[in-house]
Structure 1
Amino acid sequence: MIAKKQLRQNTKKYWKHLSFKQRQAYQKDLMAQLLALPEWQEAKVIAITLPIGGEIDTQPIIDAAKSSNKVIVIPKTLPGKQMVFGILTDKKALKKSAYGILEPGEDAQWVAKETIDLLVVPGLRFARNGQRLGHGGGYYDRYLVDFTGQTVSLAFPEMFVDEPDWEVTTYDLPVNKVLVAKEDEIK
């Protein structure tokens, strides 16, 4: 087993060393895979994070969802490592969290957990069985405890392993699917 902290650092280094061309090709492939899923096509409400430095750029996914008249909701962190999701309308209404992430403001329209059809769960490392290594806050694991919609995560090739190489606890909840960008997408 590799320490979670070390794996998180390794993934962030990997992101920094990806060429623009590699990153673009991987993101294009992941978006195509996601949009082809029946879970995506049937979803009316999709939960996703806004793009943050180094991670997979979710903006094209958000744009595709909006052009398909899907409702996009984004997370807001709360005390006690809890989260709620609010409808993404105008980016000007967003506020920076303590973590430096844009979140819905207090006047956002919040959605009930059971109305979210598909949750795109972020992470740093993923295993074939759906286990994920997140940023370490436990927000998503707590949220997923009673989440009944579908879950999917997106991974660049170096973020995916056959078996978890980190310690998995009973609190670590897997996602339904992990989509992995194909290596051969780079020409």
Structure 2
Amino acid sequence: MKSKAEIRQNVINLLKNFDIDEKKRQTGEILTDLTQSKIWQKSHKIALYMPMTMEFDLRKLFDSSVKNDKMKKKEILIPKTLSNHQMIFVKYDSADLERSDFGMLEPKNCQEEIPDLIVVPGLAWNEVGFRIGFGGGYYDRYLSHFSGATVSVAYDFQRIDFVNEAHDKAVQQVFTGRK
């Protein structure tokens, strides 16, 4: 079985070379499934991540947060990294963003909010919801003390068989592209 590092690099390569039309198709299907799900419908404070170019594109959820019925009464939160590989979630405000040391957009504000639902990023997920992320451990640390709902969104090739490690935290549901 491949190591996490090998899986991580393989999936990064697949993401970088993913066909644009197929990516758009799967993204649309997955976001529709997510926003129509019971877990989404009953959540009010939803933590999203600011996607890097190759990651699953959540921008439609940010763009539609004001005008879309699926987003009514939803407050969008995004992560802010802190020292010691810790993070908090802060209310999303497109006018209050800055680049972190990692080059990611994150809020300048430090007013912590607690989400009902976290859309957890990653590179690969196994059948029971464990994931391989980018290796920083921020989400696993946060999830170890989080009692709300967790989901992830993944393209069909990001479902991979691997054995999780003891410190890994599974998400409750992975929304994946249909074949």
What's the TM-score once normalised by structure 2's chain length?
0.93
Aligned counterpart, 2:112: 110
Q: 131-140 or 11-20, which moves further after superposition? A: 11-20
Q: Mind listing any 5+ residue stretches in structure 2 that lack a counterpart?
A: none
- The aligned residue for residue 172 of structure 1 is 168
Which residue of 1 is the match for residue 133 of structure 2? Answer: 134
CA RMSD in angstroms, aligned pairs only:
1.3
Matched, 1:99 2:105: no
1:69 Cα shift?
Answer: 3.0
Partner of 2:3: 3
Distance in 1, Cα, partners of 2:65 & 2:149:
16
Alpha-carbon separation, structure 1, partners of 2:130 and 2:9: 18
Per-residue deviation, 1:108: 4.6
Q: 1:66 & 1:101 partners in 2: Cα distance?
A: 23
Deviation >4 Å, runs of 4+: none
- Per the TM alignment, residue 178 of structure 1 is displaced from its structure 2 partner at its CA by 0.7
CA displacement 1:84-106 (0-9 Å, x = unmatched): 111012x232111111000010x
Aligned residues: 175
The question of 1:77 aligning with 2:81 is answered yes
Residue 87 of structure 1, aligned match among 84, 88, 91: 91
Secondary structure of the residue that 2:140 maps to in structure 1? Answer: helix
Unpaired runs of 5+ residues, structure 1, are none
Q: Which has the larger share of helix? A: 1
- 1: CA distance, partners of 2:177 / 2:91: 28
Distance of 2:74 and 2:111 partners within structure 1: 15
Structure 2 counterparts to residues 61-72 of structure 1, below 5 A: 61-67=61-67, 68-72=72-76
Once the two structures are superposed, what CA deviation does each residue of 1:62-113 show, in whole Å capped at 9, x if it has no partner?
A: 2344432310000011111100111012x232111111000010x35321x3
**CA gap 1:80/1:108 in 2 versus in 1, 3 angstroms:** closer
Does the 8 Å contact 1:66/1:72 carry over to 2? no
Contact 1:125/1:160 (CA < 8 Å) preserved in 2?
yes
Relative to the length of structure 1, the TM-score reads: 0.89
Please list, as runs of the form range in 1=range in 2, the aligned pairs for 1:135-174 lying within 5 A after superposition: 135-161=134-160, 164-165=161-162, 167-174=163-170
